[in-house]
């Protein structure tokens, strides 16, 4: 990993507070992500990890704080703003379009790259056809990259869990994001599938230079992959630093009941 270039800060969130009614989900969270790095967020269940990702791509609107992405500071994101500025994500409980094929799911991920209007689409000639073919090629490159050629035309609802996770990664990649948010990409996978997924994540980061922020429970994976790790517990920021620092942080060890994570 030594060849990778870690650049400037691409995403910075400052003093984020998020609550639902009386329930405080995120309490004064600040952290940043640098261009090209793999940044992990860990913490026990209910720590607010997914909520933090939801704030970053605009699904939840925090009561306090700011989000700075590529130099633009906002009080809150809107989902389409996040998407069109290059933030893509996958979801903890797979959120694929179940009635559609693998190919169509990935093509939907390229939605923002496509522009032709309804009229041309209805005729399916000229620009609409050219655009469709051009994006099909891009989608096929992702299909090759993820090695899912065989399930191209299969409805995703019927695919096994591990493959669905892979298709979901493909759909996020299709948008050619600058920042990729992965919410437990390896949850529920066997060790072989995990290895594959790790390799994909490293390759995406390496080959495309995509910045990655991921939530993961498997500490081995987190410590291996990450450049820096943010630890949350009950909506509060417990620690933030390189894996070794976090590993030896006393409050982190306490939060995890002192269980060693190797």
Partner 1 sequence: MLFFIEVTLSGLMAGVMYSLVALGFVLIFKASGIFNFAQGVMALFAALTLVGLMEKFNFPVWLAIIGTIAVMIALAWLIERVMLRHLVNQEPIILFMATIGLAYVLEGVGDIMWGSDVKLLDIGIPQGAWGWLWDQGIYVEKLELFAAGTAAVLVIFLAIFFQKTRIGRALRAVADDHQAALSVGISLNTIWVVVWSVSGIVALVAGIMWGSKSGVQFSLSLIALKALPVLILGGFTSVPGAIIGGMIIGVGEKLAEVYIGPIVGGAIENWFAYMLALAFLLFRPQGLFGDKIIERV
Partner 2 sequence: MIYRETGQFKSSYQADQALFPIKQDRYVILGILIVTFAIVPMLLNQYWLNAIMLPFLIYSLAALGLNILTGYCGQVSLGTGGFMAVGAFSVYKLMIAFPELGFIPLVLISGFITAAVGTLFGLPSLRIKGFYLAVATLAAQFFLVWLFNKVGWFYNYNASGMINSPPMTVFGVIITGPEGDMHGKYYLVAAFVAVFALAAKNIARGRIGRNWMAIRDMDIAAELIGVRPLIAKLSAFAVSSFYIGMAGALYFAVWLGSAEPTEAFDINQSFLVLFMIIIGGLGSVLGSFLGAGFLVLMPILLKNIMVDGLGTDAALAAHIEIITVGVLIIGFLIVEPHGLARLWRIAKEKMRLWPFPH
Candidate list 2, 93, 191, 250; residue touching partner 1; CB under 8 A: 93
Residues 65, 13 contacting (CB under 8 angstroms): yes
Choice between 128 and 181, CB closer to partner 1: 181
How far is it, in rounded angstroms, from Cα 39 to Cα 212?
6
Listed ranges 19-27, 109-117, 143-151, 227-235: which one lies at the site for partner 2 (CB under 8 A): 109-117
Would you count residue 116 as binding partner 2 (CB under 8 A)? yes
User: Considering the rule CB under 8 A, would residue 91 count as an interface residue with partner 1?
Assistant: yes
SS3 state of residue 165: helix
The residue within the footprint of partner 2, chosen from 8, 72, 74, 79 (CB under 8 A), is 79
Residue 78 near residue 145, CB atoms below 8 Å? no
Please name which of 258, 237, 248, 250 lies closest in space to residue 26, comparing C-alpha atoms: 237
- Residues 166-225 touching partner 1, rule: CB under 8 A, are 183
Least distance (Å) from partner 2 to the CB of residue 262? 35
Q: Parallel, antiparallel, or unpaired: how do β-strands 9-20 and 64-69 relate?
A: antiparallel
CB 64 within 8 A of CB 16: yes
By CB under 8 A, residue 167 contacts partner 2: no
Residue from 66, 68, 76, 92 that binds partner 1 (CB under 8 A)? 92
- Token readout for 108 is 């939907």
User: Residue 96 interacts with partner 2 (CB under 8 A)?
Assistant: yes
């Amino acid at each position: 990993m030594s060849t990778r270039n870690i650049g400037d800060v691409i995403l910075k969130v400052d003093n984020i507070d998020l609550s639902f009614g009386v329930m405080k989900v995120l309490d004064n969270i600040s952290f940043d992500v640098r261009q090209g790095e793999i940044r992990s967020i860990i913490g026990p269940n209910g720590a607010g990890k997914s909520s933090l990702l939801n704030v970053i791509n605009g699904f939840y609107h925090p009561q306090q704080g700011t989000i700075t992405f590529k130099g633009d500071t906002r009080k809150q994101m809107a989902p389409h703003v996040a998407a069109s500025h290059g933030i893509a994500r996958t979801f903890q409980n797979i959120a694929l379009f179940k009635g559609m094929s693998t190919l169509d799911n990935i093509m939907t991920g390229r939605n923002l790259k496509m522009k032709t209007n309804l009229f041309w689409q209805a005729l399916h000639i000229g620009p609409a056809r050219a655009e469709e073919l051009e994006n099909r090629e891009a989608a096929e490159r992702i299909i090759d990259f993820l090695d899912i050629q065989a399930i191209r035309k299969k409805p995703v609802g019927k695919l096994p869990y591990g493959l669905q996770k892979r298709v979901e990664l493909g759909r996020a990649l299709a948008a050619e994001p600058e920042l990729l948010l992965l919410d437990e990409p390896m949850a529920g996978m066997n060790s072989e599938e995990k290895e594959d997924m790790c390799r994909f994540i490293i390759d995406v980061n390496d080959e495309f230079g995509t910045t990655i922020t991921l939530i993961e429970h498997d500490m081995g994976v987190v410590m291996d992959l990450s450049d820096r790790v943010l630890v949350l517990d009950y909506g509060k920021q417990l620690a933030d630093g390189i894996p070794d620092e976090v590993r030896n942080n006393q409050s982190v060890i306490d939060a995890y009941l002192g269980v060693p994570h190797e």
